[in-house]
Each structure stands twice: as C-alpha cells, then as structure tokens.
Amino acid sequence: MKHVLITSMLAIGLGCGTAVAQTQQTESQSGADANCASGQADCQGGSKMGDQAQGKAKMQTDEQAQGKAGASTDQQAQGKAKLKTDEQAQGKAGTTDQQAQGKAKLKTDEQAQGKAGTTDQQTQDKTKLKTDEQAQGKAGTTDQQAQGKAKMQTDEQAQGKAGTTTDQQAEGKAKMQTDEQAQ
C-alpha cells in the first residue's frame, strides 16, 4: 500500500512539474517575441537561452524539490524512520521486556520451585530410603513398603548376605567343632 502511495505521489509531482515548466516555456517564448519586436539583434539566441534557463532548469528543480525529493524525503523521514523508531521502541523494547519478564521470571520460578523442589525431593527421598533401609536391614523388620529399591536391598541383606553368612558360619564351624570334639 505504501509503495502504491509513493508511486502515485511521484507521478503527481512529475506531472505538476512538467505542467509548470510548459507554462513557463510558453511565457518565455511570448516574452522573447516581444523582445524581438523591439529590435534586439540576438533575439533567437536569447529566446532559446531563456527557455533553457527558465523552462527546463526550473522544471528539473521543481521536480526535484516538489516531486522526487519531497515525496521521497518526507516519506523516508516520516514513514520509514517513524516505523523503525516505533518498531524499535515498541517491538524490540517489548521483546526485551518479555525476555526480562518472561525468561527471568521463568528462571526465577524454576529455581525457586523446580530446583528447590527437586532438592527437597532428593533430600526427602534419599533420607527416607536410607532410613527405611537402615530400619529394615539392621533392625531386621520385614514390613513390606511400596518402595522397590529399598525393599529389594533390605530383603537381599536380610535373606542373602546376613542369613547365608550367619547360617553357614553358625552351622559350619559349630558342626565342625562338634564333630572334632566328638571324635
């Protein structure tokens, strides 16, 4: 839409500049004819020089001043510069605010809730597991709990290592000593 507007303004500016130049050219020629009638010797040369100096030069100046320069400069100064300024002020600054509020807030929440929560869970779980293992293993209780690893380790310690080692030592050495004593 802006491109169409720029093109339209340029076309209008060029058209106005050309019309002004043509109007001035006609006036210059009629003025030159009046000078020729008054008897000047360089009448034709002066007329053409006047056309070039007043008509074409002024036409180009008017087009540059009113048409191209005016449309381009005003639109660039007001349109693009303003858009970029607004985007930078609202867009990037807004994004910066989102980064500052969003990420910082997320990180703060994660650190406060997530890591602290995880730390609490690790502290509670490990402490609870160790406490349960110690309670079941050393005290020898066989109460089943809903925790897998603690139960497996406790059962292995109670039945496997402690039971086998204790039974073998108790039966083996005692039996060997008994047999030796009996013989």
Mind listing the pLDDT tens digit for each residue in 62-102?
444 444 444 444 444 444 444 455 545 454 444 444 444 44
Burial of 72 (0-12, 13-18, 19+ CB in 10 A): middle
Question: Residue 167: its pLDDT value, please?
Answer: 45
The answer to whether the CB of 61 falls within 8 A of the CB of 20 is: no
- What are the structural domain ranges in the chain? 29-36+43-60
- In angstroms, what CA-CA distances link 86 with 62, 82, 90, 93, 101? 32, 6, 6, 10, 21
pLDDT at 12: 74
Hey, is 114 helix, strand or coil? helix
pTM: 0.12
Condensed to tens digits (0 to 9), the pLDDT of residues 27-37 reads 444 444 555 55
CA distance 183 to 181: 5
Cα 105 from Cα 113, distance rounded (Å):
11
